[in-house]
Amino acid sequence: AAPASAFGGSYGAAAAPAAPHSSAYQVGVAAEQHYLRKQEAARLESAVLGLHAAYSPTSVDPLHLQPRSPLHATQPSSLCRFRHIFYDPLTPEERQMRTVHGPSHVPARPPYVDAPTWAEACARNPDPEQCVPVVVVGSEALAARVAAQQERARTLAGYVKKLSDTVGDLKGSLGKSADSVRGGRREHEALRARTLDLMR
């Protein structure tokens, strides 16, 4: 056994280790957890902002979180990657421009579309004499376009039904007219036969 020291305890005995859950240790762990949570929150915020900028045509500045200036408030954001080019019938204004500048006139490029993309869109126009490229930016604009197309389809379906009903009415009238004509022919033949009998 180790000899006892003058200060109590055994001489040469190892010092008791510091408690692992001391106040300083707990403060350090809490600070590290806070830093990790803050770092993860910043990463998630950046991902959400990037996703919003990619799919919203009116996204804010992802770096400064500032709204877009009033000058560009009505224009889709150039940051939005959710975009598609459609080809719509020429508007009266475009037809007027074609009349003035000739059939090779290139439509004006929207400010939120880069020059190469617009040039390619114009080059791929399936019918430049009748169609013009239109850029739809953002899921909201696409949904609005789909809704407008559906409404137009319902309107056209109404016209088709009216035409179908009119054709049905005309067929009915023609059938009645044909029956009347056949009846008139039968009466004519009967009168002719009677007339011939009387003349004999």
- At residue 59, the pLDDT reads 52
Q: pLDDT 10s per residue in the chain (200 long)?
A: 445 444 455 555 555 555 555 788 888 888 888 888 888 888 887 777 766 666 565 554 443 344 444 444 455 666 667 778 899 998 888 888 888 877 677 888 888 788 898 999 989 999 888 889 998 887 778 888 889 889 989 999 999 999 998 998 888 888 888 888 888 888 888 888 888 777 76
- Are the CB atoms for 103 and 129 separated by under 8 Å? yes
- At residue 177, the pLDDT reads 83
Residues 6 or more apart whose Cβ sits within 8 Å of residue 75 = 110, 111, 112
Which residues is 134 bridged to in the sheet?
Answer: 86
- At residue 150, the pLDDT reads 92
- At residue 12, the pLDDT reads 53
- At residue 183, the pLDDT reads 81
- Are the CB atoms for 73 and 60 separated by under 8 Å? no
- At residue 69, the pLDDT reads 46
d(CA 78, CA 123): 21
- At residue 63, the pLDDT reads 37
d(CA 59, CA 56): 5
Q: In 3D, which of 195, 97, 86 has the Cα closest to residue 136?
A: 86
